[in-house]
């Protein structure tokens, strides 16, 4: 399920270039304290991995980058997409949003011009997606001296599809309680047109992700998870939000 917000300000909207944590914090404060604490502190665990089972996009709208102040400046109207497979999460979020006359993001007060929910039921095994926030796929490695470091992967690189598939299978199990029996080896991610690597500074941690358009091929159940939960890792930090722009194999 997707919650789509149309937001507006009478003034320009000023945010730090790396503002994921601001949107994430607002989401947690918009739901009940009980649900917020559970998702933030505990979440859903599968194979020593924890999933919050929600995702959100970048703010979409006309903007400019102020390199001196290191800010992104929106013209005054933005769109935000929040996704989750948990109906009670979306319900609490919408109720929390509507309980206040405005939304505060950083030092900005935004009014709600529109809010609506969307249900995207995936029945096919090939869909085309627009990436709304960078897809991040990574592995933590250990050096000879015992220090750990992170390696980020882009589509078409070795192990990328396998890591995407494993992540989606874990999320499926977190949602449904049971593992999905796979009839094929991997979900395949095919980049379309010219994508690019996006670098985000999240609370002083550098995170790399892929942005652009992709074609996703695999079991419909896992493609549904990708739409509802996000693709790749760090979804609740604002990575991997996607939207269907085509779901026909003839594309």
pLDDT average per 10 residues of sequence, the chain (251 residues): 95 96 97 95 92 97 94 96 97 93 93 92 94 96 86 93 96 94 84 91 94 95 96 97 71 37
Per the DSSP assignment, residues forming a β-bridge with 116 are 4
Domain architecture of the chain: domains with CATH: 2-118 (3.30.70.1890), 126-246 (3.30.70.1900)
Return the closest-CA partner of residue 94 out of 33, 226, 224, 4. Answer: 4
Q: Is the torsion defined by CA of 126, 192, 182, 236 positive or negative?
A: negative
pTM value?
0.93
Q: What's the pLDDT score for residue 11?
A: 93
Q: Rounded to an integer, what distance in angstroms lies between the CA atom of residue 56 and that of residue 83?
A: 6
What pLDDT does 89 receive? 97
Give the pLDDT score at 246. Answer: 62
């Amino acid at each position: 399920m997707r919650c789509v917000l149309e937001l507006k300000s009478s003034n320009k909207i000023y945010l730090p270039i790396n503002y994921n944590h601001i949107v994430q914090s607002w989401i947690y404060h918009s739901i009940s304290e009980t649900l917020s604490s559970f998702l933030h502190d505990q979440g859903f665990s599968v194979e020593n991995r924890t999933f919050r089972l929600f995702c959100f996009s970048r703010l979409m709208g006309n903007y400019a980058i102020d390199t001196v102040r290191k800010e992104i400046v929106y013209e005054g109207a933005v769109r935000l997409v929040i996704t989750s497979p948990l109906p009670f999460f979306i319900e609490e979020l919408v109720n929390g949003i509507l309980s206040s006359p405005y939304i505060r993001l950083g030092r900005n007060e935004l009014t709600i011009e529109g809010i609506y929910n969307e249900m995207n039921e995936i029945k096919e095994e090939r869909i085309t997606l627009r990436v709304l926030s960078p897809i991040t796929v990574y592995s933590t490695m250990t050096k000879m001296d015992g220090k750990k470091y992170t390696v980020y992967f882009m589509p078409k690189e070795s192990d990328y599809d396998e890591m995407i598939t494993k992540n989606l299978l874990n999320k499926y199990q977190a949602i449904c309680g049971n593992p999905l029996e796979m009839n094929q080896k991997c979900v395949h991610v095919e980049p379309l047109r010219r994508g690019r690597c996006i670098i985000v500074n999240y609370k002083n941690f550098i995170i790399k992700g892929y942005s652009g358009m992709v074609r996703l091929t695999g079991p419909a159940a896992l493609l549904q998870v990708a739409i509802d939960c996000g693709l790749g890792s760090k979804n609740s930090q604002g990575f991997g939000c996607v939207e269907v722009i085509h779901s026909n194999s003839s594309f």
